[in-house]
Amino acid sequence: MAKFLFCLPRFHTNAEPWVRILSGAGHCVQIDVLRVGATEDHRLIRPRVVATSPLTSRLARLLPRKADPDFYRTPGLLGYWREMARIAPDVVIVRGLSRWFMRVAALTAILQGRRLIIYDQDDPLPRRYSSTWLRRASLRMLGLRHVTARMAASVRERSPAFAETLPFGRPAADPQMLAPTVRRARKSPQILMVAKYRARKGHRALIAALADPIMPTNFCAVFCGEEADGADVACRAELEREVERQGLSDKVSFRANLDRAAMQQLYRESDIFVLPSVSEPAAVSPIEAAWNGCAALMDRSAGTRHYLPPEDRFVFDATDPHEIALKLAALVADPNLLDEARHACRNRVAAISSDAVILEKFQRMLPGRASRAP
């Protein structure tokens, strides 16, 4: 039995499958976070919210302002040293090294002689001499290893900046997800988009695609996202007005702040998942949708594109609503093609991110285990 400590800004949904897989194999898991979110499900594990050092809070007011409100937040060095010594983890996994909390956790792990893994969401094989390449290569010289949520189409060369993929896993221990088949698609397929109500996520592009004359009329669509502040509420209201302007009010509905159980049910009720975000490094929602039996479509440059089958029918140019409409129309118009696409997506994620695959990757993180390069 080994002890794993995750240090994260907050408890992201992608951590839940990892906790379930490690706990099921007899390992101990603790997650330290800076804050918790309103829609998180803590039934499997309750993360520990670390106390912020008053000194760093005062110092943060004197330093350049960051878009990330948690960037400078960190526990006191001595206090966190004692806490990590008490936990005595075999493996410490930190979410990057930019935030001060991650730096404190990483430094503490190194000085205490613990196995440190740096988790990021950059390309497994980044462009040579890019900032990611230089960072990873430099840290590898110090004996530090990276893993990433992204998956490459293929990796043919060795590189000092290579990071092995630690895949997003099956979102819940649900017997329905273990069945070899998924239900038949509806006669009027349900299209789903899950993303925060922010302009960069591409809601408007999908609305324009749904209003394209090429789209069949036998569909409904659901937009679901997090409303964390007033800006999110205002964004959703504007999107609702755009849906009305496009004459789609009878086909499109909006949801917000669903808990994990309700979110999984919504995935299961849907047939097609669309994420039209242009710059999306490692979205977990398309993978959760595919596990639940949706045909998932996303921008061809998205970081998790290769969790889906390689065919071009599962990707589009998110800046081109007509191309999105073309891909959707083909699935909505042909129930057999839609069911085949749904099974293809489900089979792909089951092959590359099953519990067994992920557990084997975690086992290789343990001290004394050899890290096998591709």
Whole-number pLDDT of residue 374: 39
User: What CA–CA distance (Å, rounded) separates 320 from 355?
Assistant: 36
* CA pair distance 369, 77, nearest whole angstrom: 29
Supply the pLDDT for residue 70. 85
pLDDT digits (tens, 9 = 90+) for 207-243: 999 999 999 999 999 999 988 889 999 999 999 999 9
Picking from 74-78, 147-151, 367-371, which range would have the lowest pLDDT averaged per residue? 367-371
Mean pLDDT of 296-304: 94
Q: Domain 175-352: which topology?
A: Rossmann fold (3.40.50)
Taking the CA atoms of residue 161, residue 155, residue 275 and residue 186 in that order, the dihedral angle to the nearest 10 degrees is: -150
Question: What are the tens digits of pLDDT across the range 255-275?
Answer: 999 988 889 899 999 999 999
Distances (CA, A) of 244 to 191, 215, 217, 241, 249: 17, 17, 16, 5, 5
Q: Which amino acid is at 92?
A: V
CA distance linking residue 162 with residue 151, whole number of Å? 12
Assess contact for 6 and 32: CB atoms under 8 A. yes
Question: What predicted TM-score, i.e. pTM, was given to this entire model?
Answer: 0.86
Lookup result for tokens 């591709």: 374
Dist. CA 351–CA 370, nearest whole Å: 23
Which candidate, 185, 210, 246, places its Cα nearest to that of 328? 210
* Ranges of CATH 3.40.50.2000 domains, the chain: 175-352
Task: Give the DSSP letter of residue 307.
Answer: G
Higher pLDDT, 312 or 10: 312
**Which CATH fold would you assign to the domain 3-169+353-363?**
Rossmann fold (3.40.50)
Q: Which of 195, 216, 231 is nearest to 67 (CA)?
A: 231
User: What percent of the chain clears pLDDT 90, i.e. is strictly above it?
Assistant: 70
Question: How far is the C-alpha of 257 from the C-alpha of 170, rounded, in Å?
Answer: 21
Give the pLDDT mean for 347-359: 93
Strand-strand pairing, 145-148 and 28-35:
unpaired
Torsion of the alpha carbons at 327, 294, 188 and 206, rounded to the nearest 10? -50
Mean of per-residue pLDDT scores for the chain:
90
Phi-psi region of 113 (alpha: psi -120 to 50; beta: other; left: phi over 0): left
Question: For 103-119, what is the mean pLDDT?
Answer: 96
Count CB neighbours of 297 within 10 A: 26
- Residue 140 to residues 119, 146, 147, 160, 365, Cα–Cα distance (Å): 13, 8, 12, 7, 15
